[in-house]
């Protein structure tokens, strides 16, 4: 999203609060006060189609400064993730909430090394399914259509199709690969270990059944008279959500 100058054509006759969201904000007619309800909402992207032979890394909003008109930049030495909904928006996003001093994480990021307790679920003539019930049970119990990201597989909505998927019970994940890659658990674990050693570990980003929380330091962020701008220098730019006081007409 490009920088937005947000002007106000409403009929308010007195100072009031309005809320805005975008990658960069330039808010017109602000008063000399402060930002309320500041949230930084994470995003994640993949620049291509992942396959077992051609993994695509998951890149997220990470290690950035928030710049504010007239103030010192605020450093966020954190990673905030998001899972796209496939329609230009977001299914779920990590968020740093300034007013309550918390990072709320509904998303997990897990890389595999081949040492995990993988279970073979079913084998077909050309593909084989493994699941994480033996060691990963914190995923949301969602339909296969719920969104996730994986470095080596696209998401699938069809049981048994090649891809990665949620289960609808027991909070685990399923991964189906061509059988030539991993015809049995031992071979699969060796393949995972080789991917890890090559610096391209099989990694999945998925929605948690229960979000986790971390404490961050609250900041008082001042607005300036008539125009307040907020932006980040992140490579993958997060959304900024802010409530500010606006002058009446």
pLDDT in tens, 148-169: 999 999 998 888 999 999 887 7
Domain shared by 115 and 52, yes or no: no
The model's pLDDT over 17-26, given as tens digits with 9 standing for 90+, comes to: 889 999 999 9
Domain shared by 121 and 153, yes or no: yes
The model's pLDDT over 68-99, given as tens digits with 9 standing for 90+, comes to: 988 889 999 999 999 999 889 999 999 999 98
pTM given for the model: 0.89
What pLDDT, on the 0 to 100 scale, is given for residue 226? Answer: 83
Domain shared by 24 and 85, yes or no: yes
Number of other CB atoms surrounding residue 179 within 10 Å: 17
Domain shared by 204 and 125, yes or no: yes
Domain shared by 66 and 122, yes or no: no
Number of domains in the chain: 2
Domain shared by 202 and 228, yes or no: no
Domain shared by 45 and 32, yes or no: yes
What pLDDT, on the 0 to 100 scale, is given for residue 1? Answer: 44
Domain shared by 198 and 223, yes or no: no
Domain shared by 23 and 77, yes or no: yes
Domain that holds residue 114: 110-211
Domain shared by 239 and 192, yes or no: no
Buried b (16+ CB within 10 A) or exposed e, 43-66: bbebeeebebeebbebebbbebeb
Partners of 90 in the β-ladder: 84
Band of residue 4 on the pLDDT scale cut at 50, 70, 90: low
What pLDDT, on the 0 to 100 scale, is given for residue 12? Answer: 53
Domain shared by 30 and 97, yes or no: yes
Mean pLDDT, range 39-50, rounded to an integer: 96
Strand 227-232 relative to strand 25-28, pairing: antiparallel
Domain shared by 55 and 9, yes or no: yes
What pLDDT, on the 0 to 100 scale, is given for residue 9? Answer: 44
């Amino acid at each position: 999203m490009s920088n937005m100058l947000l002007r106000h054509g409403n009929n308010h006759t007195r100072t009031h609060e309005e809320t805005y969201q975008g990658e960069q904000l330039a808010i017109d007619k602000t008063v000399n006060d402060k930002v309320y309800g500041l949230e930084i909402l994470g995003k994640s992207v993949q620049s291509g189609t992942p396959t077992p032979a051609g993994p695509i890394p998951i890149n997220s909003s990470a290690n950035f400064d928030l710049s504010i008109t007239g103030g010192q930049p605020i450093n966020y030495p954190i990673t905030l993730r998001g899972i796209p909904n496939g329609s230009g928006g977001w299914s779920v996003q990590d968020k740093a909430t300034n007013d309550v001093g918390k990072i709320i994480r509904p998303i997990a990021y897990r890389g595999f090394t081949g040492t995990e307790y993988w279970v073979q679920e079913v084998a077909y003539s050309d593909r084989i399914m493994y699941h994480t019930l033996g060691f990963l049970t914190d995923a949301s119990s969602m339909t296969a259509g719920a969104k996730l990201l994986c470095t080596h597989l696209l998401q699938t909505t069809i049981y048994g199709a090649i891809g990665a998927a949620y289960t609808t019970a027991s909070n685990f994940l399923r991964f189906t690969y061509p059988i030539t890659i991993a015809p049995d658990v031992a071979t699969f674990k060796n393949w995972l270990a080789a991917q890890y050693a090559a610096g391209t570990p099989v990694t999945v980003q998925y929605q948690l059944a229960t979000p986790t929380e971390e404490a961050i330091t609250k900041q008082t962020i001042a607005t300036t008279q008539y125009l307040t701008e907020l932006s980040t220098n992140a490579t993958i730019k997060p959304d900024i959500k802010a409530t500010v006081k606006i002058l009446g007409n």
